[in-house]
Amino acid sequence: MNKWARRSHSLLIFYGLTPEYIESVYNEFFQLKYYGSWGFIEAYNLPIKLRRWFLKRLVDQIKEENEQQKQAASKARSKRSH
């Protein structure tokens, strides 16, 4: 690790940005991009509370859609068995 990388890493930790925290933020960006079709810059520029709200809402939406798919599949199976 070069001098700049060590200094940069130390500054991140000084400000409370541990590697684990940074990984979790990148994971949030990935989820918004992959499941919500957000751009990186859009996700990056969101205030933290708003970004977390969108992530929670996205999770709720996916759960709701999965439940609807299960219900539809169950209805389709019951129609076939009659």
pLDDT tens, 22-70?
A: 899 999 999 999 998 999 999 999 999 999 999 999 999 999 999 999 9
Per-residue burial over 48-73, b if 16 or more Cβ lie within 10 Å, else e, is eeebeebbeeeeeeeeeeeeeeeeee
> Is the pTM here over 0.75, yes or no?
no
| Torsion angle defined by CA atoms of residues 72, 34, 29 and 68, in that order, rounded to the nearest 10 degrees | 0
Distance CA 47, CA 58 (A): 16
DSSP state letters, 3-61: HHHHHHHHHHHHTT--HHHHHHHHHHHHHHHHHH---HHHHHHS-HHHHHHHHHHHHHH
pLDDT tens, 3-28?
A: 655 666 666 666 777 889 889 999 99
